[in-house]
Chain A
Amino acid sequence: MSLVSAEILKLVRRRGTMAWCAILTIGSVLIAYVILISLHAANPAHHGPAGGRENLKNLIFLLGGLANVAAILIGSAAGSQDVSSGVFRELVVTGRPRGTLFNVRLPGALAVLLPLVATGFGIAVLGAFALAGDRPHPTGSEIWHDAAYVLSITSVDVALAIGLAAFASSRVVVGVLIAWNAIVSHLLISITSLGGARKFIDVAAAQHFLPPGVNDRVIPMSGVTAVVILLVWAAVFQRAGRWWVLRRDA
């Protein structure tokens, strides 16, 4: 077993966390479709078919927000579980460099999170075609935008949560990052006097990948800029977390 496989094992055996993450990523999409199908069945004249490109846009916005919470849950667990259980000390005395022990957390967490997100995303896209009825299907470009948005927001938040969890308990990390993603970042984005500086907010950069028309407050920037900003956020938090793991007493 590799160190990454060991990280995966530690995470997937957390039944509570995994159940919540499955509900947030897969369950949320299924529940949304059940509601849309029910509404359409109850009143077809007022509620259109559950699929199609418009419903997919809304579903992706929902999935992005909830998968983001799943990413924070998994990232905070991956970043804190060894220290909180006392096992970090046991790993350090094997002689493996602390940097290596930290570096495997991100791929381990992504290996657990991304299949869940991909499944939720796949169900959303499948439903958009299968349940479209007379509504227009999403285009390939729109699906690409949707995938990039969900992937970017979740992957970056996993990296942020892991880095932050080197300094604080998982509960604190979950609270801080959910508050940042759900409230603080959106408040900052809405302050127009901040002008172009708002593009440096990670949430604003991730929103660049949203399909047009989903969110009116998207800060204009190029795709390259958005990718660079997201990578810088991830790198800064990972670097900080690694720095502390190298220095702290185990």
Chain B
Amino acid sequence: MRTADRARSLTFMESVIETKGLTKRFGERTAVDTVDLVVPAGVAFGFLGPNGAGKTTLIRTLLGLTRASGGEFSLLGLPQPAKRRQALARVGAIVEEPKFHPHLTGRENLKIVAAARDRAAAARIDDSLERVGLAHRADDRVKAYSLGMRQRLGIARCLIADPTLLILDEPMNGLDPAGILEMRHLIRAFVGEGRTVFLSSHLLDEVEKTCDRVAIVDQGRVILQGAVGEIGADGEPTLVVDVDDVAAAEGALAGETRISRIEAEAGRLRLSLADGLGAADVNRLLVQAGIAVSRLEPARATLEDTFLAVTSRLESNE
């Protein structure tokens, strides 16, 4: 499908993945717990969570690799599992580490999967290999490939489907810094072509740099979802203050009830502000107490801050 066609078709599709109460249990253990998730079309969507949070199980359930224990879901607007074949024909996926027949070459491995896809898939093999930079090694046996090359071959295998939706489970695993950067550029290029990329990862920084929207998952539950910028901006404003006497500054601010938290480190205070307290108010309090302020800067709440806050909140509730 051409990029323009894909973009046009996406305008009629509000979400590419939608789950309602999706649940997967393994005996007594609930790996995916009544998940409601909406992945809009045409974005890079980060599915963020610590190891063992249920990310891969959710992906396996979406792809029909394991049966859901409850709830319902759709892929590309098609109800699953009823319209599984039609939906997966337009989905490319890497689940955990991409697997191949080690005794076959990279090209032969793609031929094997192309045989299971539509007739046009085989014609896309060369372009896919070229795109991920493996054309020169395509006729080497996969057992001679590095993990990074296998990741790239996995992406090439996704591309032979000309997918509308790419589901990538921890695609940065095993990549060196250059490979991570290359993968990030590839993902953004896919989004630029009108594809949707659903990216699961435990690497906060990568999700923040790569994705437009994000869902944070822990212990099988989706805790937060929204635009990366919105989620990062959630929570109390934080102020970083460099002072000459940290102990005295801490004492001077201790009585201010609109400061909900004070963290002291070498020559620096990190303050969580509430009820409209601003940087100028803090500066005034410190100066009035005779403390020299050398730096006063609002700290941008990162996705990492939010992630750690919500996951630790979850732990403290148990």
Asked whether A96 lies within 8 Å of B101 as measured between CB atoms, the reply is: no
Tally B residues with Cβ within 8 Å of A: 33
A14: Cβ under 8 A from any B Cβ: yes
Interface residues of A in 71-112 (CB under 8 A from B): 81, 85-87, 89-97, 101
Q: How far is the CB of A10 from chain B (nearest CB, A)?
A: 6
A1-9, A54-62, A131-139, A235-243: which lies at the interface: A1-9
Q: Given contacts A85-B100, A94-B88, A249-B65, list 7 more A-B pairs with CB under 8 A.
A: A1-B111, A6-B115, A9-B108, A13-B104, A86-B100, A90-B98, A91-B113
User: Contact at B108–A13, with CB atoms within 8 Å?
Assistant: yes
User: Assuming the A-B contacts A10-B101, A90-B99, are A97 and B85 also in contact, with contact meaning beta carbons closer than 8 angstroms in the complex?
Assistant: yes
A44 to B109, CA, bound (A): 55
**Please, could you name 15 A-B residue pairs with CB atoms under 8 Å apart, sorted by A?**
A5-B115, A6-B116, A10-B101, A13-B103, A13-B104, A13-B108, A85-B102, A87-B101, A89-B65, A90-B157, A91-B116, A92-B64, A94-B116, A95-B84, A95-B87
| Residue B95 is within 8 A (CB to CB) of chain A in the complex | yes
Q: Does A41 sit at the interface, judged by CB under 8 A?
A: no
B27-45 to A contact mask, C-beta < 8 Å, 1/0: 0000000000000000000
**Is A250's beta carbon under 8 Å from chain B?**
yes
- Say which residue of A6, A15, A89 sits within 8 Å of B111 (CB atoms): A6
| CB of A146, distance to nearest CB on chain B (Å) | 34
Known: A3-B116, A13-B104. A95 touches B98 (CB 8 A): no
Q: Do residues A3 and B101 form an inter-chain contact, with CB atoms below 8 A?
A: no
| Chain A residue contacts of B104, Cβ below 8 A | 9-10, 13
A6 contacts B112, C-beta separation under 8 Å:
yes
Q: Is the CB of B88 within 8 A of A93?
A: yes
Given A94-B116, A94-B161, A101-B116, are A9 and B111 also a contact pair (CB < 8 Å)? yes
Instruction: Assess whether A93 is in contact with B99, with CB atoms less than 8 Å apart.
Output: no
A250 / chain B contacts, CB cutoff of 8 Å:
65-66
Contact (A14, B65) CB under 8 Å given A89-B95, A95-B84: no
- B114 sits at the interface (CB 8 A): yes
- A14 pairs with B114, CB closer than 8 A: no
A1-B122 contact in complex given A92-B63, A95-B84, C-beta closer than 8 Å: yes
Report B-chain residues with C-beta under 8 Å of the C-beta of A15. Answer: 103
List, in ascending order, chain A residues with CB within 8 A of B102's CB.
85
User: Which residues of A6-38 are within 8 A (CB) of B?
Assistant: 6, 9-10, 13-15
Question: With the chains together, A95 CA to B89 CA distance in Å?
Answer: 6
**Does B286 reach chain A (CB closer than 8 Å)?**
no
A90 to B158, CA, bound (A): 10
B117 within 8 A of A: yes
Q: How many A-B residue pairs have CB under 8 A?
A: 81
Nearest-neighbor residue (CB-CB) of B167 within chain A: A93
Q: In the complex, which residue of chain A has the Cβ closest to the Cβ of B101? A: A85
Q: How far is the CA of A97 from the CA of B85 in the complex (A)?
A: 8
* A10 partner residues in chain B, CB cutoff 8 A: 101, 104, 112
Q: Which residue of B lies closest to A95 (CB)?
A: B88
Determine if B101 and A93 form an interchain contact, defined as CB atoms under 8 angstroms apart.
no
Assess A89 versus B88: contact at CB under 8 Å? Given A3-B115, A9-B108, A250-B65: no
In angstroms, Cα B104 to Cα A250, docked, is 21
Of the candidates B91, B111, B112, the one whose C-beta lies within 8 Å of that of A93 is: B91
How close is B148's CB to chain A, nearest CB, in angstroms? Answer: 18
Distance to closest chain B CB from A171 (angstroms): 17
Interface residues in B60-104 by Cβ distance below 8 A to A read 60, 63-66, 84-89, 91, 93, 95, 98-104
The 5 closest A-B pairs by CB, nearest first: A86-B99, A95-B88, A6-B115, A95-B85, A94-B116
Closest to B84 in A: A95
B65 interface neighbour in A5, A13, A93, A96, Cβ under 8 Å:
A93
| B63 neighbours in A (Cβ, 8 Å) | 92-93
Q: In this complex, what residue of A is CB-closest to B122?
A: A1
Complex: A6 Cα to B85 Cα, angstroms:
20
Q: How far is the CA of A99 from the CA of B115 in the complex (A)?
A: 15
CA distance A97 to B86 in the complex (A): 11
Question: Do B65 and A87 touch across chains, with their CB atoms under 8 A apart?
Answer: no
A201–B99 CA distance with the chains assembled, in angstroms:
39
Per the bound structure, the CA–CA distance linking A85 and B111 in Å amounts to 16
What is the CB-to-nearest-CB distance from B253 to chain A, in angstroms, rounded to a whole number? 56
How far, in angstroms, from A51 to B262 measured CA to CA in the complex? 99
Evaluate contact between A85 and B99: CB separation under 8 angstroms: yes
Complexed CA–CA distance, A5 and B102 (Å)? 18
- Separation of A94 and B114 alpha carbons in the complex (Å): 9
Bound-state CA distance A90–B161 (Å) is 12
List residues of chain A with CB within 8 A of the CB of B114. 1
Bound complex: CA A95 to CA B95 (Å): 14
- The answer to whether B85 touches A93, judged by C-beta atoms less than 8 angstroms apart, is no
* Alpha-carbon separation in the docked complex, A57 to B103 (Å): 38
